[in-house]
Amino acid sequence: MPVNYDQISQVYDAVRRADVELVEAFRREVPLDEPVRVLDLGCGTGNYADLVQRATGAVVCGVEPSAGMLEKARQKNAALVLKQGNAASIPFEKAQLDFVYMTDVIHHVPDLRAMFAEIRRVLRPEGKICIVTQSHAQIALRPIARFFPGTVQVDQSRYPDIPAIIGAAQACGFALLREETLFADQPVVLGADFLELVRNKGYSMLHVIPKAEYKAGLRTLETQIASGPITATQAGETLVWLGRTARA
């Protein structure tokens, strides 16, 4: 089933809160200051673009195919440079950007090589990329999988695993700098807010699993939360850091 991101934009901010720890990870690797031009590729409603711009003063751009998502981003921060586009057609001239990052977006990209070729075009020679995603092992450890086990297979089929990402990048003239893991095993409480998000299908994979599984998982979740919040642990995120090679 296709996912309508203009519709999801209405509840997306409750799902995708920007995390300062991730922005600090960016800053440890890239000197983000006023002259630097940064691209949030697949920026959604601009949560991270907004936080990066306010925290660093860098020129932060966002590219996003959904008009509904972009409208939410514009309401957050007038300083953001926001454009409608996608990973295969980034609306910037050659060698315009110092740093490109993607936060939980790469599974929406149908052609990784086309994406990396396009990023290479718009990235300056010393520029870097950070792909923030989850490995297949991390997907299996998500708290939501306790209630909707079908989401594991759905997202493992949608998400390219880490070796596939690295291989596609290397084929397009990038080198792996390092991998980094954030948020793994941190405690998380699933309460009324989480239940409301599930009821509104704020997570895209809930639109893809069978309706019967969704209804059964929702009933189980409602029953357990009725007895009090559920304590779980986060699965973590993988940061894949890439830099351009000298290949023409």
Whether the per-residue pLDDT at 14 is higher than 60: the answer is no
- Predicted confidence (pLDDT) per residue in 182-202, tens digit: 999 999 999 999 999 999 998
Burial class (CB in 10 A: 0-12, 13-18, 19+), 207: middle
The per-residue pLDDT for 12 is: 45
SS3 (DSSP) at 238? strand
Domain definitions of the chain by residue range? 5-184+236-244
Mean predicted confidence (pLDDT) in 144-152: 97
Query: What's the pLDDT score for residue 247?
Result: 63
> Residues 73-108, buried b or exposed e (16+ Cβ, 10 A)?
beebbeebebeebbbeebebeeeebbbbbbbbbbbb
pTM score of the predicted model? 0.89
pLDDT value at 11 more than 70? no
- The predicted structure's pLDDT at residue 6: 41
**2 or 160, which is more confident:** 160
Q: Output the CA–CA distances (angstroms, integers) from residue 148 to 7, 75, 77, 159, in the order listed.
A: 22, 33, 35, 17
Q: What does the pLDDT look like over 86-123, one tens digit per residue?
A: 999 999 999 999 999 999 999 999 999 999 999 999 99
Q: Average pLDDT over the chain, rounded to whole? A: 92
Token readout for 166 is 């690295």
3-state SS assignment for residue 62: strand
Q: Domain 5-184+236-244 belongs to what topology?
A: Rossmann fold (3.40.50)
Q: Taking a C-beta distance cutoff of 8 angstroms, is the pair 178, 17 a contact?
A: no
